[in-house]
Amino acid sequence: MKRIRFHIMPVIALSLAAIQLSAEDVPEAKATQVEVPGPKERTIEFNYGFIIKEVPAGTKKLHVWIPMPQDSALQKLNSFKMRSSVGVVNYSTYRDYENHNAFMHFDLSRHARMGKEDISIDIVFNVTRHASHDTWSEGSDEKLKPLVRKRYLSAHKLVPVEGNIADEAWESIGTEDAPIARARLLYNHIVETVQYDKSVEGWGRGDAIFACQARKGNCTDFHSLYIGEARAVNIPSRFIMGFPIPEGASGEIAGYHCWAEFFIDGRGWLPIDASEANKHPEKKEAFFTGLDANRIQFSIGRDIRVPKTRTRLLNYFIYPHIEVNGVPHESFEKRFSYKEVFAEEAKK
């Protein structure tokens, strides 16, 4: 693990050479772009900001971890820059080789010992995102290694693959044997029987049992149910967390968005966005094995191990994880916004 330390002035641009994913880390996808809703490609400056509040007097250790945008077949992290309310900030980057996640870790202990009560940091990520829809041929050689397949068929703490989840999955697919057809039947069933509704207590944890029983929830609940049911019928699947990017030149972003991917031998990882399909029925066809460019991916997986934290596992990882003297600290504000970088600006 390579440790990187920079001295950061209030605003500076940084190279990604030290943390760029290698070709071995991210297999090339054989995707061909076709028509999906919205633009085919967007380059976005995404502001990921947070303010740590109420740092206790006498704090000796203050650490923060955040996820970084993913490099993938559909997305590229071009660069980032940073500003801070405390001037020089020490940070490192780490990789999670289980899910290919990248993390940024800030050691703010020196500032806490100086009595800084509120500390703010904003990172502006420049990301290019592509829209795509699966048109891969059945003759490709995309396959998962046995240990990877086992991982993406196993249960998570809030995503079981047995009991009611499995019963509903098998009932939904009937006698269908083909994995891609099974995946579509599960998608149809969830889109048609679960409502995007955040009025019910328990939503937002990505609890598949909750979604199965309440038939309501947000994107985490939709896709946790889908992943549990897909794995129950032997389709490897995984949870993707990121942010929605509205169509428009710039604006604020209220919070995260997530979706899922499932794996088909000979075709690779294919995306679905069941919650958006429920909210926008006209996008149902496009969001089975397709995604628009109006999003940025930040992390993959559930029960995530973040290096150097005292917390054993994170349910999912999108917002800052803060520890004061080794104990999780929940007093912080988050702020997210975006600005579109048009082709003319990108050339400057």
Per-residue pLDDT reduced to its tens digit, 251-260: 999 999 999 9
Strands 216-217 and 195-196: parallel
Handedness of CA 7, 26, 313, 66 (dihedral sign): positive
d(C-alpha 52, C-alpha 333), whole Å:
7
Residue 53 has pLDDT above 90, yes or no: yes
Confidence bin at 135 (pLDDT 50/70/90)? low
Confidence bin at 15 (pLDDT 50/70/90)? very low
The mean of the pLDDT values for the chain is: 88
- The helix (H) or strand (E) run that includes residue 125 is strand 119-130
Q: Which CATH architecture has domain 137-300?
A: Roll (3.10)
Amino acid identity at 236: P
pLDDT in tens, 233-276: 999 999 999 999 999 999 999 999 999 999 999 899 999 999 99
Residue 109 has pLDDT above 90, yes or no: yes
Residue with tokens 């002035």: 9
CA-to-CA separations, 274 to 9, 69, 90, in angstroms, rounded: 42, 22, 40
pLDDT for res 142:
79
pLDDT in tens, 179-230: 999 999 999 999 999 999 999 999 999 999 999 999 999 999 999 999 999 9
Residue 138 has pLDDT above 70, yes or no: no
d(C-alpha 14, C-alpha 16), whole Å:
7
pLDDT for res 2:
39
The answer to which of 13-17, 103-107, 255-259, 263-267 has the lowest mean pLDDT is: 13-17
pLDDT for res 97:
81
Tokens encoding 89: 């900030």
pLDDT for res 134:
81
- CATH 3.10.620.30 positions along the chain are 137-300
- CATH 2.60.40.2250 positions along the chain are 29-132+304-346
What spatial distance separates the first Cα and last Cα of the chain, rounded to whole Å?
A: 35
Nearest to residue 237, comparing CAs of 248, 246, 247, 228? 228
Question: With a threshold of 0.75, does the pTM exceed it?
Answer: yes
pLDDT for res 9:
37
pLDDT for res 347:
53
Average pLDDT, stretch 151-163?
98
**Top-level CATH class of 29-132+304-346?**
mainly beta
Buried b (16+ CB within 10 A) or exposed e, 108-133: bbebbeeebeebbbbbbbbbbbbbbb
